[in-house]
Structure 1
Amino acid sequence: MVDHGPRTGDLVALTFDADMTDAMRYQLRSGAVRSYANLAIIDLLERERVPATFFLTGKWVEEYPGVTRRLAGNPRFELANHTYGHLAFTADCYQLPTIPRQRMAADVARTFDVIAPYGGRQTRYFRFPGLCHDRAALTELAPLGVTVVDGDVISGDPFAKSWRPVVDAVLSRVRPGSVVVLHVTEANAPMTDEALPRILAGLAELGLRPAPLSEVLGARPVG
């Protein structure tokens, strides 16, 4: 389990969670919500040639196959696993329904299977919904050979009402080797696309450079 990479150098990882619960799927399909895929974020990352890592839920991939193909097709983007339906792996985790312990490994394995056909820079990185995990959850996932990634810079972008607190949260905590947790789920994190250009500018002023998660964590660059 890792929170950040080495504190040397100038690299940081921008990671974006793509949540999708059954409740979110219902909101989307009923028309109550317009989108859980913030294309403005992807547009900016592509335009500015910024590397990023996306933690995808299987259900999000199923709702947005075209967007997933777009992410997989960008050599600067890495794909990682955020469970199939964003269920909680511990009790009392942001009011999320809890997945039974005996289903945990199958849920995560299923998500890898959903992502696999899209190709691109796929990883064995995994993030728990809500960052909620305990020894039991880690034990269940151990046979899958995943690297659990939490993050040391929590942006607080879900349900933010302004971009300012998101930017402040990131720039006040970020350091070399940091793993920044953001979201690409537009309706649930509506300010992230406004915060992102300011975060990028702030990182540049601090002399920090976004890189794929594998490089920030010290792995050999992919490709």
Structure 2
Amino acid sequence: MGSRPPVVDHGPRTGDRVALTFDADMTDGMLQNLRTGKVKSYANLRILDLLEREEVPATFFLTGKWVQRYPALTRRIADNPRFELANHTYGHAAFTDDCYDLPRVPAKGMTADVAKTFEVIKPYGGRQTRYFRFPGLCHDAAALDALAPLGLTVVDGDVVSGDPFAKAWQPLVRAVLDKVRPGSVVIMHVTEANAAMTDEALPHILAGLRERDLVPAPLSEVLAAG
């Protein structure tokens, strides 16, 4: 049994770097929506296109089921030297009770769930990390204890965009730019159908960061700065 993993919200408040992070959720219900045609996509290609075109570093917290559903996109992310890959559980189930109505991971299955996700991501290579984000940012002492053997760092974040199920892009821009500071970790989503406004907000967020002399950087570099 290792020691309880550290939980970080942001990097040092020095310098000019910030981390843009994108969660890639995937539940069994989302997979069913894809199979039945109820939803077209949970992968926002416009976000990737923009980040690539403007050469913006980013870190992607991937669920194992998203990786398995979108292997070519996972390869695309892994092949970009400006992108990092991190762990967001296997099927986006909650590690505590009362976490946004998400189904619950059994206590005895928590360690295996996260370990399995690292194994799913591993073959893609690229800039892989030992960073992990809980679904809904929901965690308690028992959840942290369960992950102790895995040698990871839990990354919550200090700037929540609020992009899931948003109906307009302007509030996302305000949410980010009102709170972002040197060392910030910004939370957004790449799950298109569940975060349809993110690609529209992102150009304005990037412009606002430039106006504030803040520079996007990989999460590992932001956390290690200073």
Shorter-normalised TM range? over 0.9
User: Using the alignment, how far apart are the partners of 1:219 and 1:4 within structure 2?
Assistant: 11
Structure 1 residue runs without a partner (length 5+): none
Partner residue of 1:107 out of 94, 103, 113: 113
- SS across alignment from 2:193: coil
1:167 matched to 2:173? The reply is yes
1:41-190 superposed matches below 5 A: 41-190=47-196
1:186-205 superposed matches below 5 A: 186-205=192-211
- Residue type matched to 1:61 in 2? V
1:17 matched to 2:23? The reply is yes
Structure 1 residue 120 displacement after superposition: 0.3
Residues matched between the structures, number: 220
Match of 2:3 in 1: none
- SS across alignment from 2:192: coil
Structure 1 residue 29 displacement after superposition: 1.0
Normalised by the size of structure 2, how large is the TM-score? 0.96
User: Using the alignment, how far apart are the partners of 1:217 and 1:32 within structure 2?
Assistant: 39
On the 8 A contact 2:157/2:185 being kept in 1, the answer is: yes
User: Using the alignment, how far apart are the partners of 2:145 and 2:103 within structure 1?
Assistant: 20
**Misfit runs of 4+, over 6 Å:** none
- Residue type matched to 2:128 in 1? Q
Deviations 1:130-149 (A, max 9, x none): 00000000000011011000
Deviations 1:49-104 (A, max 9, x none): 00000000000000000000000000000000000000000000000000111100
Structure 1 residue 196 displacement after superposition: 0.2
User: Using the alignment, how far apart are the partners of 2:37 and 2:150 within structure 1?
Assistant: 37
Q: Percent identity?
A: 77
1:211 matched to 2:217? The reply is yes
On the 8 A contact 2:12/2:183 being kept in 1, the answer is: yes
User: Using the alignment, how far apart are the partners of 2:37 and 2:56 within structure 1?
Assistant: 32
Normalised by the size of structure 1, how large is the TM-score? 0.98
User: Using the alignment, how far apart are the partners of 2:140 and 2:30 within structure 1?
Assistant: 25
Deviations 1:26-53 (A, max 9, x none): 0011100000000000000000000000
Structure 1 residue 219 displacement after superposition: 6.4
User: Using the alignment, how far apart are the partners of 1:17 and 1:190 within structure 2?
Assistant: 13
User: Using the alignment, how far apart are the partners of 1:146 and 1:25 within structure 2?
Assistant: 27
User: Using the alignment, how far apart are the partners of 1:219 and 1:63 within structure 2?
Assistant: 34
- SS across alignment from 2:224: coil
- Residue type matched to 1:123 in 2? T
Partner residue of 1:5 out of 2, 11, 15: 11
